[in-house]
């Protein structure tokens, strides 16, 4: 972080050299000392510091200078840097002007020449002024900054991506933050280029893709080897557990994730029923602990990368990525999980990402401050989202078709919701429409036996169940009627699928109809939708990978 600046101004070279020497002797460890030799030069320097967003702590300026007097310099300093301390350096004959400047230029102090010894006549005053400035100073954000529109789908996508990888960033709403307008103007870009990412190294990117963002941030986006013992597709709890055990047991292990680590669990604001965490933890925290553990043990990670095809060649599994890159593996574990089902209601598709969200979308919670928000769904994910949003929104309404949450939500969440005064459950109610020109403005709800009614809404979060993310693999691996991957005994005991298994041995418990291709987690038929269950299956899958590789 840059040191704050002390600016000294005097047209007398000897005086300027003396004041610069004394300032550096006392304040150099914590401040940068700049010196200029005229009023016009001081004004130019102030403008440059403002353009570069440099922190200016104090201006010490001589009064009697040709062209531009000291009071004029300090007045301009106050306009550009309202919080900077302003000190006039003057001879005894100019004390009247200095006293008048206390009011006209809101001068903080004036000092008389000469100031010898500085230990008595200079440093004590400046120390007090700098201490007062430091007490109110808030350093400018020095990391990645994202400028965009609050309810832009692409802005939402980039915010979710950065948050998912725990990348610290500053969000600037172009419509509300004056700083965003000035920053965008300094890049030479305009509102049509938003969202814009400003990297700490000075690089600027307009409307970047997630892959571009990952590459510039130094995230691993390419495989280091051509062949792996095991490739795991999907970095949810099951995939992360498989990566931990695969790497720890000496397998060359690659984990590929198309979005961010954690899967659906990663978007959970608080998981309170996971073993070993009595006070709970967020899904993001759990995912990144597991990610750090897997990479420390030697697993490779690629993201955001999407596997679009998989085929078998001479016993090896060949994975094709969206950019046509190919990776070979001896065994593959599918942990692609599930995605939220979409709701076929007028207005939802048009406003998706602009006030309508499938899943928790925690990055948008602050934008809902003091506004009403609605949640459709009555499962645990909906309950966790409601508890999180209730800390920001004025009211949170949970819309459910049934009479209560008891049939679909854990008891601890129902109890917490009942104790939260700004959460209201709307039973026997359905969403009929989402309204708004560019962003969500209202929802239309209908209670059983009543007419539809419009309600103002800032955001709508939908949790209506999930579907497996297996559409790209069902041509190779056998899936049930709902798209869930069939594994183990289901392949040989059910007469509908018995012909799909061709080897003499029985399939391993988590093995699909393709030998060496395993499935774990929520995308597997018969899996239990719990984080602990997914972690267990991911760990088990590595045992079966070992058995397959030893054949």
User: Look-up: residue for tokens 């397959």?
Assistant: 548
Q: What is the 3-state secondary structure (H, E, C) of 220-238?
A: CCCCCCCEEEEEEECCCHH
- Strand partners for 171: 146
Q: CA of 27: how far to CAs of 61, 103, 130, 410, in Å?
A: 17, 28, 10, 60
DSSP letter at 318? E
Q: What is the 3-state secondary structure (H, E, C) of 57-110?
A: EEEEEECCCCCCCHHHHHHHHHHHCCCCEEEEEECHHHHHHHHHHHHHCCCCEE
Shared fold status for 144-217 and 227-339+467-549: no
For residue 398, pLDDT beyond 70: yes
Q: What CA–CA distance (Å, rounded) separates 102 from 211?
A: 55
Higher pLDDT residue, 276 or 266? Answer: 276
Q: What CA–CA distance (Å, rounded) separates 266 from 328?
A: 28
State the average pLDDT for the chain.
90
Spatial neighbors of 298 by CB under 8 A, at least 6 apart, are: 247, 248, 253
What are the pLDDT digits (tens) for 189-220?
999 999 999 998 889 999 999 999 999 999 99
pLDDT of residue 280: 81
User: Look-up: residue for tokens 């051509």?
Assistant: 226
**Least confident interval from 137-141, 183-187, 282-286, 513-517:** 137-141
Spatial neighbors of 348 by CB under 8 A, at least 6 apart, are: 342, 356, 434, 460, 462
pLDDT of residue 183: 85
Kind of pairing between the strands at 356-358 and 316-321: unpaired
pLDDT of residue 92: 58
For residue 107, pLDDT beyond 70: yes
Higher pLDDT residue, 365 or 545? Answer: 545
Average of per-residue pLDDT across 356-360: 85
For domain 144-217, give the fold.
Glutaredoxin (3.40.30)
For domain 5-136, give the fold.
Rossmann fold (3.40.50)
Q: What CA–CA distance (Å, rounded) separates 246 from 239?
A: 10
- Of the candidates 341, 353, 454, the residue with the CA atom closest to the CA atom of residue 151: 353
pLDDT of residue 504: 85
For residue 73, pLDDT beyond 80: yes
For domain 348-464, give the fold.
FAD/NAD(P)-binding domain (3.50.50)
**Least confident interval from 54-68, 294-308, 443-457:** 54-68
What are the pLDDT digits (tens) for 461-501?
999 888 899 999 999 999 998 999 999 988 887 777 667 78
pLDDT of residue 339: 87
Instruction: Return the percent helix, strand and coil in the chain, to nearest 5.
Output: 35, 25, 40
Of all residues in the chain, the percent with pLDDT exceeding 70 is 97
pLDDT of residue 403: 93
Spatial neighbors of 137 by CB under 8 A, at least 6 apart, are: 4, 55, 57, 83
Q: How confident is the model at residue 340 (pLDDT cuts 50, 70, 90)?
A: confident
Largest CA-CA distance found in the chain, in angstroms, rounded:
107
Average of per-residue pLDDT across 264-286: 81
pLDDT of residue 95: 64
Q: What CA–CA distance (Å, rounded) separates 303 from 21?
A: 53
pLDDT of residue 346: 95
Top-tier CATH class for 227-339+467-549: alpha beta
**Least confident interval from 62-71, 209-218, 326-335:** 62-71
pTM as predicted: 0.76
Average of per-residue pLDDT across 274-286: 84
CA atoms within 13 A on the CB side of 273: 14
- Strand partners for 393: none
Six-digit token string for 207? 């409307």
What are the pLDDT digits (tens) for 31-42?
999 999 999 999
pLDDT of residue 245: 97
pLDDT of residue 20: 94
Question: SS3 of 499, please?
Answer: helix
Average of per-residue pLDDT across 254-268: 87
For residue 227, pLDDT beyond 70: yes
**Cβ 291 vs Cβ 490: under 8 Å:** no
pLDDT of residue 23: 94
Higher pLDDT residue, 444 or 101? Answer: 444
**Cβ 318 vs Cβ 514: under 8 Å:** no
**Residue 30 neighbours by CB distance under 10 Å:** 12
Q: How confident is the model at residue 349 (pLDDT cuts 50, 70, 90)?
A: very high
- Of the candidates 134, 122, 177, 133, the residue with the CA atom closest to the CA atom of residue 155: 177
Of all residues in the chain, the percent with pLDDT exceeding 90 is 63
For residue 7, pLDDT beyond 90: yes
**Least confident interval from 91-100, 273-282, 346-355, 387-396:** 91-100
Question: SS3 of 257, please?
Answer: coil
Q: What CA–CA distance (Å, rounded) separates 293 from 224?
A: 19
Average of per-residue pLDDT across 445-459: 94
Kind of pairing between the strands at 459-462 and 372-376: parallel
Q: What CA–CA distance (Å, rounded) separates 86 from 75?
A: 9
Question: SS3 of 238, please?
Answer: helix
DSSP letter at 506? P
**Domain ranges for the chain:** 5-136, 144-217, 227-339+467-549, 348-464
């Amino acid at each position: 972080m840059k040191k704050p600046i002390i600016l000294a101004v005097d047209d007398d070279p000897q005086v300027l050299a003396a004041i610069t020497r004394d300032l550096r002797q006392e304040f150099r460890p914590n401040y940068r000392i700049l010196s200029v030799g005229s009023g016009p030069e001081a004004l130019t320097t102030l403008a440059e510091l403002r353009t570069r967003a440099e922190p200016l702590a104090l201006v010490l300026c001589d009064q009697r200078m040709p062209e531009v007097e000291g009071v004029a310099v300090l007045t301009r300093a106050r306009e550009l840097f309202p919080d900077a301390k302003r000190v006039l350096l003057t001879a005894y004959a100019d004390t009247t002007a200095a006293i008048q400047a206390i009011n006209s230029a809101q001068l903080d102090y004036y000092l008389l020449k000469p100031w010898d010894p500085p230990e008595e006549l200079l440093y004590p005053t400046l120390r007090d002024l700098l201490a007062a400035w430091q007490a109110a100073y808030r350093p400018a954000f020095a990391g990645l900054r994202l400028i965009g529109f609050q309810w832009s789908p692409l802005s939402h996508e980039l915010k979710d991506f950065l948050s998912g990888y725990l990348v610290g960033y500053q969000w600037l709403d172009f419509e509300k933050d004056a700083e965003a307008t000035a920053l965008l103007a300094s890049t030479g870009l305009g509102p049509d280029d938003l969202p814009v990412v400003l990297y700490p190294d000075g690089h600027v990117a307009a409307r970047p893709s997630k892959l571009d963002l990952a590459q510039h941030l130094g995230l691993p986006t390419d495989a280091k080897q051509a062949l792996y013992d095991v490739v795991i597709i999907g970095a949810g709890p099951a995939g992360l557990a498989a990566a931990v055990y695969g790497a720890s047991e000496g397998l060359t292990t690659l984990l590929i994730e198309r979005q961010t680590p954690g899967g659906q669990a990663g978007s959970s604001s608080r998981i309170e029923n996971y073993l070993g965490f009595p006070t709970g933890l967020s899904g993001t925290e759990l995912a990144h602990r597991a990610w750090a553990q897997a990479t420390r043990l030697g697993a490779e990670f690629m993201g955001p990368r999407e596997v679009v095809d998989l085929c078998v060649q001479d016993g090896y599994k060949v994975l094709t990525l969206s950019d046509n890159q190919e990776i070979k593996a001896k065994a593959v574990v599918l942990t692609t999980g599930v995605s939220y089902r979409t709701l076929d209601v007028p207005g939802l598709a048009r406003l998706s990402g602009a006030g309508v969200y499938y899943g928790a979308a925690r990055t948008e919670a602050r934008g809902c401050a003091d506004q009403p928000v609605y949640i459709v769904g009555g499962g645990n994910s909906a309950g966790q989202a409601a508890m999180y949003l209730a800390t920001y929104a004025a009211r949170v309404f949970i819309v459910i078709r049934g009479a209560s949450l008891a049939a679909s939500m854990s008891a601890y969440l129902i109890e917490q919701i009942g104790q939260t005064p700004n959460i209201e459950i709307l039973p026997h109610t359905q969403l009929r429409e989402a309204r708004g020109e560019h962003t969500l403005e209202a929802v239309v709800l209908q209670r059983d036996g009543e007419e539809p009614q419009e309600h103002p809404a800032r955001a709508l979060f939908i949790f209506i169940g999930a579907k497996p993310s297996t559409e790209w693999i069902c041509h190779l691996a056998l899936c049930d009627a709902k798209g869930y991957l069939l594994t183990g005994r289901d392949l040989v005991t059910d007469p509908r699928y018995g012909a799909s298994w061709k080897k003499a041995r029985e399939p391993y418990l988590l093995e699909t109809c393709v030998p060496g291709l395993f499935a774990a987690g929520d995308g597997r038929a018969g899996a239990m939708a719990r984080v602990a269950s997914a972690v267990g299956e991911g760990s088990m899958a590595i045992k079966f990978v070992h058995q397959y590789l030893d054949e």
